[in-house]
Amino acid sequence: MAISRKGLTLMSIVGHIRTCLDHGRLYQYEPAIPVEAHLRIILLTPEMREEIDAELLDREAEHRTGAFLADLDHFIAGGEITIGDRRDKHAFLKRLEPEGEQVWELRSVDPEPSVRAFGTFADTDILVLTPMRLRTELGGFNSRAFKDEIRRTRQIWHGIFAPYSPLTSEKVTDYVNENVNDLRNTQ
């Protein structure tokens, strides 16, 4: 069965993802605690997977990394997701500016220091995470470090997915299909 997005068949990007998984260019994140159903998918680049593994081995970072992985598990299991813009301090996901770049940040805020994982949606409920950084390393919202991570995320996307484009929509439910709260609508 082919799923279409704006008149294009998705079999090609799904097939591309399968090929990347088969060849180690992407890894599907599996929850630390098995869940009945995976309602959403998180794909990791090899670098992101190595970052997570290294952080888990670091005794000082293992608790913070465990909380980050619990947030990934929450996303995969279909937990409620809040989406906001730069003013929404409690959003789980934010699309970063410029919005046309389609780079998102997944925000793991508890405990301090908070972690930001940058990524792009390949399709509805399929989030590809590239780098992650401690929020304290990024400076202000429009800092050079933030812009560098957005640029890096786009470069990684193109390196893995060219000629495919990331999912682009104004509807939040095109990114996260269900159990989503759009904080942008309440302002």
Per-block average pLDDT, block size 10, for the chain (187 residues)?
44 88 96 78 95 78 85 93 86 90 94 91 96 88 90 96 94 94 73
Give the integer Cα–Cα distance in Å for 13 and 82. Answer: 26
Range of the domain at 42: 4-186
Q: Dihedral sign, CA of 6, 7, 12, 14?
A: positive
Q: Determine the pLDDT at residue 187.
A: 46
Q: Which helix (H) or strand (E) holds 17?
A: helix 11-22
Q: Determine the pLDDT at residue 9.
A: 47
Q: Determine the pLDDT at residue 2.
A: 41
Give me the amino acid identity at 115.
V
* Strands 27-28 and 8-9, sheet pairing: unpaired
How many domains, in total, are found in the chain?
1
22 CB neighbour count, 10 Å cutoff: 9
